[in-house]
């Protein structure tokens, strides 16, 4: 139980808090530093911030009773903090105006940003797929949706897409201030269903239909929302990306903003759309639908508390679409994750997890639709799911990252093993492995698409030094093997990817019991003498793998300052399987911090860098971990911390609609055991006022929190740092959360370079 404590009880706080002193870091070399260039906290003090007298009381297992914790900036949780933000941004600007390299960083990021290229996706009738792919010249430009047939793609592959295949289908400049979000062609290949984003508000929320025979490319036609020549149908109450064509190509399903599942017939008013499934009333409940690949069934997923595990139900569309359809239950609880692959008649195939198969497996279940029944709006009448047979068992040494179904009954599975990708092909009906594809790539970043009935799979691989390589995997039915060809290589305007090298390495953990994997990017033939800045990024939470995609922002910094970029995989992610995730969550979170410190020590030992030249550039849960590392690291080790949308007050982490998700990953402060470990590392509560802190730039969340922390987390952290360290020789600044991502990175990197003394490469 947590409740405010009166001011008279503060005398008790000092004694109890001594039980929870900041954790001590490992032994590293110390760098003695004077004030950062142009920084003088005496003549330019931090803006004053009001401190309140709110105190909360928590139950602690270690203290065997109550623990009192002050929360002097609690008012940020309920106020809009406009005055605070304005004063902090004005203060920040006084120092940012001193950054001579800021224009150069802006230019470098722009020049390092390649054209966006989304690989071809096949749609339409069996035997004659139509492909869509998307291009965009840059982040401030409007893009184009292209349409092509297989023959167009084959012809363009001969000259490595020097001439783009097919033709432009939608020019985003003609969408009336909108850009494309999601798109798919109907099963009969005649219509396009597409949703858009408003460029002024960045809000998703409109869906349109147009004929494939009616491209949006004629600039002489009037400009309107959704583009000239579309159908009159407009869906505004939707969650974009949820739409799914029905088998008749005359109607589609979608999810409303209230999580209800709706059904729209083209040519009718959306006000008359049938609500097939009522809103999910579970805590953070949600519904999701797919239409089976033969167009005959509706697959419904139900989730709670933002987790991936789901309940699953299937309905035959032969009965007609209505508010009271008959359903069969695949899984009534939320014990496993499910992902429909395909079906052959009543035999359904799905990727799923279980307690005994956390690395995911493929199963088959046979459904008898004569036993389908009506249910209530919450589907609570179902108590038993369908029996399944394992077709492709889980691998103990790797987990399934993704799959695509092609050539009707073939399955390409992408496995993640030891922070690397493996590509395997299976016969779905028999479970027999047909091929392992050996692609020589140092990357965990990919995008792959295939039409379920086609024999071509398009795979785009991105690497730290390369924005994208598109492979055409061609299936030979006679040999049951893929051949593959590199058909397109994305270019960077001013940087030659061949001038940079990527390595996959590992560092011994603090205890020496595991090796911490990471990727490193740097210029070839770089002289390692300890002089280079090292910038470190990671995620390490929720079992998520931060892919090794090409990042123009980090590449620009590496290019400008002869830096080394490290993408680390400390415990907490899923790079080494679910066990790696569990080893960095809940009471094991300290492993995440220790692993990052181990990677830093490795970089210093290799003379890539020196103490004080290490930059942590982290976001969301990694911003939490990075801030904890700054608290725990020896003075002078970290040179700069750039945290975006971080969780900093872990004792108030439950003050969020995402509290259940956070509690499962980090623990709940209302749990006496979890309180103890959260208090041990919570960044806000472990600031060391006796230590010199590095340059700190914190960007608050601008919008709704997902895995990141609400804006008040950032406001509290900046305020407490400035209060505890009024004479810190390095800047402690609040960034402008409304800046573009490009501007945030340019500012942060120019700031880090300025305070570390890094010089632009000639």
- Helix, strand, or coil here: 37? coil
> How many angstroms separate the CA atoms of 670 and 46, rounded?
34
pLDDT bracket for residue 33 (50, 70, 90): low
Which stretch of 32-36, 172-176, 208-212, 314-318 has the lowest confidence by average pLDDT?
Answer: 32-36
CA 536-541-544 angle, to 5 degrees, is 90
Please check the confidence at residue 25 and state whether its pLDDT lies above 70: no
pLDDT above 70 as % of the chain: 94
Mean pLDDT score, 228-251: 94
- Structural domain of residue 346, as residue ranges? 248-369
Question: Would you state the torsion angle of the CA atoms of residues 559, 564, 570, 575, taken in this order, to the nearest 10 degrees?
Answer: 60
What DSSP letter does each residue of 693-708 carry, written as one string? --EEEEEPP-S--SSS
> How many angstroms separate the CA atoms of 216 and 170, rounded?
5
CATH for 712:
3.40.50.1820
C-beta separation of 394 from 360 below 8 A: yes
The separation between the first and the last C-alpha atoms of the chain, rounded to the nearest angstrom, is: 59
C-beta separation of 311 from 379 below 8 A: yes
Place of tokens 């103490």: 611
- pLDDT tens digit sequence for 702-752: 765 566 789 999 999 999 999 999 999 999 999 999 999 999 999 999 999
Beta-sheet pairing, 534-537 with 204-211: unpaired
- pLDDT tens digit sequence for 476-521: 999 999 999 999 999 888 889 899 999 999 999 999 999 999 999 9
Q: Which of 187, 206, 234 is the last residue of a domain?
A: 234
Most distant pair of Cα atoms in the chain: their distance = 83
Question: Would you state the torsion angle of the CA atoms of residues 164, 166, 167, 168, taken in this order, to the nearest 10 degrees?
Answer: -70
Please check the confidence at residue 306 and state whether its pLDDT lies above 80: no
Q: Is 26 domain-assigned?
A: no
Let me know whether 400 and 546 are in one domain.
no
Let me know whether 225 and 257 are in one domain.
no
C-beta separation of 448 from 404 below 8 A: yes
What are residue 521's phi and psi, to 5 degrees? -120, 130
The token pair at 199 is: 């460029």
- What lies within 8 Å, CB to CB, of 118 at 6+ separation is 133, 134, 135, 447, 460
> How many angstroms separate the CA atoms of 474 and 464, rounded?
26
* Crossing angle of the two packed helices 672-681 and 659-666, in degrees rounded to 10: 80
- pLDDT tens digit sequence for 551-604: 999 999 999 999 999 999 999 999 998 899 999 999 999 999 999 999 999 999
pLDDT at 305: 76
Mean pLDDT score, 620-629: 97
Let me know whether 301 and 158 are in one domain.
no
Element (H, E) at 227: none
pLDDT at 34: 80
Let me know whether 537 and 628 are in one domain.
yes
Q: Is 431 domain-assigned?
A: yes
Let me know whether 221 and 290 are in one domain.
no
Let me know whether 487 and 365 are in one domain.
no
Let me know whether 460 and 578 are in one domain.
no
Q: Is 350 domain-assigned?
A: yes
> How many angstroms separate the CA atoms of 49 and 169, rounded?
54
CA 536-416-580 angle, to 5 degrees, is 65
* CA atoms within a 13 Å half-sphere pointing along the CA-CB vector of 120: 33
Q: Report in angstroms the alpha-carbon separations of 21 from 15, 256, 337, 506, 631.
A: 11, 48, 40, 31, 11
CATH for 350:
2.130.10.120
Let me know whether 580 and 722 are in one domain.
yes
Please check the confidence at residue 22 and state whether its pLDDT lies above 70: no
Let me know whether 153 and 106 are in one domain.
no
pLDDT at 285: 85
Question: Would you state the torsion angle of the CA atoms of residues 78, 83, 87, 90, taken in this order, to the nearest 10 degrees?
Answer: 110
Q: Is 343 domain-assigned?
A: yes
Please check the confidence at residue 613 and state whether its pLDDT lies above 60: yes
Q: Which of 437, 466, 491 is the last residue of a domain?
A: 491
pLDDT at 4: 40
What are residue 604's phi and psi, to 5 degrees? -70, -45
Q: How far is CA 440 from the centre of its chain?
A: 25
Nearest alpha-carbon partner for 757 in 31, 5, 26, 16: 31
Let me know whether 627 and 698 are in one domain.
yes
pLDDT at 149: 97
- Helix, strand, or coil here: 529? coil
Let me know whether 503 and 543 are in one domain.
yes
pLDDT at 7: 34
Please check the confidence at residue 313 and state whether its pLDDT lies above 60: yes
Between residues 252 and 762, the one the model is more confident about: 252
Task: Specify the DSSP class assigned to residue 232.
Answer: S
Q: Is 64 domain-assigned?
A: no
> How many angstroms separate the CA atoms of 25 and 519, rounded?
24
Question: Would you state the torsion angle of the CA atoms of residues 606, 610, 612, 617, taken in this order, to the nearest 10 degrees?
Answer: -30
Nearest alpha-carbon partner for 61 in 20, 25, 90: 20
Task: Specify the DSSP class assigned to residue 15.
Answer: H
Place of tokens 């994997």: 517
Q: Is 379 domain-assigned?
A: no
- What lies within 8 Å, CB to CB, of 243 at 6+ separation is 182, 184, 193, 195, 207, 252, 253, 254
pLDDT at 157: 96
Mean pLDDT score, 396-408: 95
- Please give the model's pTM, rounded to 2 decimal places: 0.90
- pLDDT tens digit sequence for 120-156: 999 999 889 999 999 998 766 789 999 999 999 999 9
pLDDT at 657: 84
pLDDT at 13: 33
CA 514-504-632 angle, to 5 degrees, is 50
Element (H, E) at 143: none
pLDDT bracket for residue 14 (50, 70, 90): very low
Q: Which of 462, 491, 520 is the last residue of a domain?
A: 491
- Helix, strand, or coil here: 683? helix
What DSSP letter does each residue of 278-345 carry, written as one string? PPP-STT-EEEEEE-TTSSEEEEEEE-TT-S--EEEEEEGGG---SS--BEEEESSSSS-EEEEEEET
Mean pLDDT score, 619-625: 97
Nearest alpha-carbon partner for 648 in 583, 594, 701, 576: 701
> How many angstroms separate the CA atoms of 297 and 314, rounded?
7
Nearest alpha-carbon partner for 453 in 156, 187, 152: 187
Q: What is the mean pLDDT of the chain?
A: 92
- Helix, strand, or coil here: 549? coil
If one counts the domains in the chain, the total is 4
pLDDT at 322: 96
Q: Is 739 domain-assigned?
A: yes
Mean pLDDT score, 89-101: 97
Please check the confidence at residue 27 and state whether its pLDDT lies above 60: no
Q: Report in angstroms the alpha-carbon separations of 748 from 92, 539, 554, 695, 704.
A: 12, 19, 11, 10, 23
Let me know whether 718 and 750 are in one domain.
yes
- What lies within 8 Å, CB to CB, of 757 at 6+ separation is 37
pLDDT at 140: 64
Task: Specify the DSSP class assigned to residue 563.
Answer: -
Q: Is 215 domain-assigned?
A: yes
What are residue 578's phi and psi, to 5 degrees? -65, -30
Place of tokens 């409940």: 285
pLDDT bracket for residue 30 (50, 70, 90): very low
């Amino acid at each position: 139980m947590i409740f405010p404590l009166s001011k008279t009880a503060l005398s008790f706080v000092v004694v109890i808090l001594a039980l929870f002193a900041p954790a001590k870091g490992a032994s590293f070399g110390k760098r003695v530093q004077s004030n950062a260039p142009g920084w003088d906290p005496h003549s330019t003090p931090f803006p004053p911030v009001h401190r309140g007298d709110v105190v909360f009381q928590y139950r602690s297992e270690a203290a065997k009773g109550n623990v009192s914790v002050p929360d002097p900036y609690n008012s940020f949780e309920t106020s809009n903090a406009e005055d605070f933000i304005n004063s902090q941004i004005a203060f920040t600007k006084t120092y940012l105006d001193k950054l001579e390299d800021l224009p150069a960083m802006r230019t470098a990021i722009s020049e390092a940003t390649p054209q966006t290229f989304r690989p071809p996706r096949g749609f339409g009738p069996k035997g004659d797929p139509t492909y869509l792919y998307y291009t965009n010249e840059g982040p401030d430009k409007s893009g184009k949706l292209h349409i092509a047939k297989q023959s167009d793609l084959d012809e363009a592959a001969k000259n490595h897409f020097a001439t783009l295949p097919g033709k432009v289908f939608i020019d985003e400049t003609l969408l009336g201030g909108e850009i494309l979000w999601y798109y798919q062609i109907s099963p009969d290949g005649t219509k396009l269903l597409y949703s858009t984003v408003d460029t002024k508000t960045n809000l998703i929320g409109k869906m349109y239909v147009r004929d494939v025979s009616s491209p949006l490319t004629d600039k002489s036609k009037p400009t309107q929302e959704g583009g000239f020549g579309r159908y009159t149908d407009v869906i505004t109450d939707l969650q974009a990306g949820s739409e799914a064509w029905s088998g008749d190509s005359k109607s589609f399903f979608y999810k409303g903003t209230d999580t209800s599942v709706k059904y729209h017939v083209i040519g009718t008013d959306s006000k008359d759309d049938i609500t097939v499934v009522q809103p999910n009333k579970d805590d953070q409940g949600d519904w999701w639908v797919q239409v089976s690949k033969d167009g005959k069934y509706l697959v419904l997923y139900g989730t709670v508390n933002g987790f991936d595990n789901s309940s699953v139900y299937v309905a035959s569309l032969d009965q007609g679409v209505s508010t009271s359809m008959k359903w069969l239950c695949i899984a009534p609880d939320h014990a496993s994750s499910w992902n429909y692959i395909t079906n052959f008649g009543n035999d359904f195939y799905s990727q799923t997890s279980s307690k005994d198969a956390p690395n995911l497996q493929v199963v088959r279940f046979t459904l008898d639709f004569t036993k389908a029944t009506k249910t209530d709006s919450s589907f609570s009448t179902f108590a038993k799911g369908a029996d399944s047979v394992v077709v492709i068992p889980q691998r103990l040494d790797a987990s399934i990252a993704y799959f695509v179904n092609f050539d009707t009954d073939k399955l390409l599975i992408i496995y993640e093993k030891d922070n690397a990708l493996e590509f395997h092909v299976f016969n779905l009906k028999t479970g027999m492995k047909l091929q392992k594809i050996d692609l020589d790539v140092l990357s965990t970043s990919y995008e792959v698409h295939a039409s379920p009935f086609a024999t071509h799979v398009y795979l785009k691989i991105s690497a730290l030094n390369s924005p994208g390589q598109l492979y055409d995997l061609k299936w030979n039915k006679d040999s049951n093997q893929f051949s593959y060809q590199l058909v397109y290589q994305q270019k960077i305007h001013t940087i030659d990817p061949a001038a940079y090298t990527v390595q996959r390495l590992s560092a011994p953990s603090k205890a020496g019991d595991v090796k911490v994997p990471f990727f490193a990017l740097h210029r070839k033939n770089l002289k390692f003498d300890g002089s280079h800045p090292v910038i470190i990024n990671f995620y390490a939470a929720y079992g998520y793998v931060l892919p090794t995609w090409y990042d123009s922002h980090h590449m620009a910094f590496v290019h400008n300052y002869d830096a080394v970029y490290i993408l680390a995989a400390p415990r907490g992610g899923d790079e080494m399987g679910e066990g790696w995730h569990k080893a960095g969550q809940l009471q094991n979170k300290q492993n995440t911090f220790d692993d990052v410190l181990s990677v830093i020590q490795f970089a210093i030992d290799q003379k890539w860098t020196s103490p004080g030249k290490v930059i942590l550039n982290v976001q969301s849960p990694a911003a939490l971990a990075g801030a904890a590392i700054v608290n725990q690291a020896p003075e002078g080790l970290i040179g700069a911390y750039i945290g975006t949308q971080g969780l900093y007050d872990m004792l108030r982490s439950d003050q969020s609609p995402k509290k259940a998700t956070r509690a499962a990953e980090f623990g709940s402060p209302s749990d006496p055991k979890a309180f103890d470990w959260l208090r041990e590392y919570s960044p806000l509560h472990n600031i060391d006022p006796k230590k010199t802190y590095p340059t700190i730039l914190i960007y608050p969340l601008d919008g709704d929190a997902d895995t990141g922390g609400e804006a008040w987390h950032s406001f509290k952290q900046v305020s407490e740092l400035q209060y505890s360290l009024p004479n810190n020789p390095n800047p402690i600044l609040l960034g402008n959360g409304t800046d573009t991502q490009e501007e945030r990175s340019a500012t942060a990197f120019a700031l880090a370079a300025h305070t570390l003394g890094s010089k632009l490469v000639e």
